[in-house]
Amino acid sequence: MQESKVLKKLKRFGRYPQGVGLSALHGSLLQSLTRAYQLAVGKSLISVVLVLVLFSTSCTQKKRPIQGDTEFQRELNTFYKDASTSPLKKKDLKHFEGLDFFKFDSAYKVTAQFKRTPDEQPFEMKTTTDRKPIYIKYGEATFNLKGETFTLNVYENLDYKAKDDYKPFLFLPFLDETNGLESYGGGRYINTAMPNGNNLVIDFNEAYNPYCAYNDKYSCPIVPRVNYLKTRVEAGVKTFGKH
């Protein structure tokens, strides 16, 4: 690491503080120079201190705590705040404070009865672009939500399954009656763990928006109409900005 000019000056002045070994005339001259040097160093140190204070204040202002009432919300906000991972446009990322969520509600975490559908054939999932990733219907999840019974199809992404870093999970896209109002008009997604026997835990508090809700440069799976829930799912991520 290169030394600062101020640090170099301090080291250089420190080696000859009083002109040791020089004549009286030279000593007097050197003392005058030393006083000038000390004055210059003092001014430099004051400048450095001011810069450090301003820098520290700036960093404190920029490093705001990650928002979120749950671990999921904080992790999602961290992901979206990081320029290296965020799908946000630069203009949105510049002023990003955190995503807007429905208030956490444990009633939206349900244990569904899971029915495996082993005879399904792979198909091309429609997206917002010409891209057609390969999915397969993995099964059906039936659950009770606020006194009503619903069934959703659950899918597995076969393109992702073929990758070396694949970790088993299921894809649950859904539509509900908050779409276009409090939530994104194109519906939302949930990633779920593989079912434990005949049970599948679905947490709608962890419903998130497609990247297309934030940036139209992405290609996002279109939620199949069969996964429309005729109810308001007031959980998970809300709509973003003017989208």
218 and 137 together in one domain: yes
Given this model, what pLDDT does residue 35 score? Answer: 52
Given this model, what pLDDT does residue 131 score? Answer: 96
- Asked whether residue 31 is domain-assigned, the answer is yes
125 and 203 together in one domain: yes
- Asked whether residue 119 is domain-assigned, the answer is yes
109 and 217 together in one domain: yes
- Asked whether residue 111 is domain-assigned, the answer is yes
- Asked whether residue 92 is domain-assigned, the answer is yes
46 and 134 together in one domain: no
The tally of domains found in the chain comes to 3
51 and 29 together in one domain: yes
Given this model, what pLDDT does residue 67 score? Answer: 81
Compute the distance between CA of residue 93 and CA of residue 86 in angstroms, rounded to an integer. Answer: 8
Q: Which residue has the tokens 């390969």?
A: 134
19 and 76 together in one domain: no
- Asked whether residue 238 is domain-assigned, the answer is no
| DSSP codes of every residue in 115-182 | EE-TT---EEPPBSSS---EEEEEEEEEEEETTEEEEEEEEEEHHHHTSTT----EEEEEB-TTBTTT
193 and 115 together in one domain: yes
126 and 38 together in one domain: no
Given this model, what pLDDT does residue 47 score? Answer: 54
SS3 222: coil
Residue 117: how many other CB atoms lie within 10 Å: 12
Q: Pull the structure tokens for residue 151.
A: 């069934």
Q: What is the pLDDT of residues 50-102, one digit of tens each?
A: 545 454 444 444 566 788 889 999 999 999 999 999 999 999 999 999 999 99
134 and 21 together in one domain: no
Please compute, for residue 65, the number of CA atoms within 13 A of its CA located in the half-sphere on the CB side.
3
Provide the domain limits for residue 25.
Answer: 5-62
Given this model, what pLDDT does residue 184 score? Answer: 97
Q: What is the pLDDT of residues 137-186, one digit of tens each?
A: 999 999 999 999 999 999 999 999 888 888 899 999 999 999 999 999 99
120 and 209 together in one domain: yes
166 and 112 together in one domain: yes
129 and 215 together in one domain: yes
Given this model, what pLDDT does residue 8 score? Answer: 33
